[in-house]
Amino acid sequence: MSNATAQTAGAWTQVDEKVRRRILSHTPEMMVVEVEFQPGGYGPPHAHPHLQSTYVKSGSFDFTISGEMRTIGEGDSIVVPSNAVHSCQSASGGGLIDVFAPAREDFLTP
């Protein structure tokens, strides 16, 4: 018997004027989040204890992880280690699917 549960995507949360996100599904152990960037959207440098995997749904993104910059495009993915300082920017705009383990509790509170 499976413990998996289907969930409906949550409401969009406006992060800033060019970035918004919504939780697609989550359990305490894992969270899937969709993030949309308008052209010029920027995720400033930050770190968190969660392991993060990011899949580029559309567009192109410049990721900097622990001081190393890498450009990834549609269909590419990247893993951000726990506690690594990272940021991303999209000149063209686009969409990401982020997976966090464990879930980002801070995304669940208003």
Task: Give the confidence band of 18 by pLDDT, cuts at 50, 70, 90.
Answer: very high
Q: What are phi and psi of 18, to 5 degrees?
A: -120, 0
Give the domains, in start order, of the chain with CATH numbers. 13-94 (2.60.120.10)
Looking at the DSSP assignment, which residues form a beta bridge with residue 58?
Answer: 95
Q: 67-100 pLDDT, tens per residue?
A: 999 999 999 999 999 999 999 999 999 999 999 9
pLDDT the model gives residue 6: 66
Task: Give the confidence band of 1 by pLDDT, cuts at 50, 70, 90.
Answer: very low
* Cβ pair 74, 56 in contact under 8 A: yes
What residues contact residue 87 under an 8 Å CB cut-off, 6+ apart?
A: 42, 43, 44, 45, 46, 63, 64
The pTM for the full model equals 0.91
Task: Give the confidence band of 8 by pLDDT, cuts at 50, 70, 90.
Answer: confident
Beta strands 94-101 and 30-37: pairing type? antiparallel
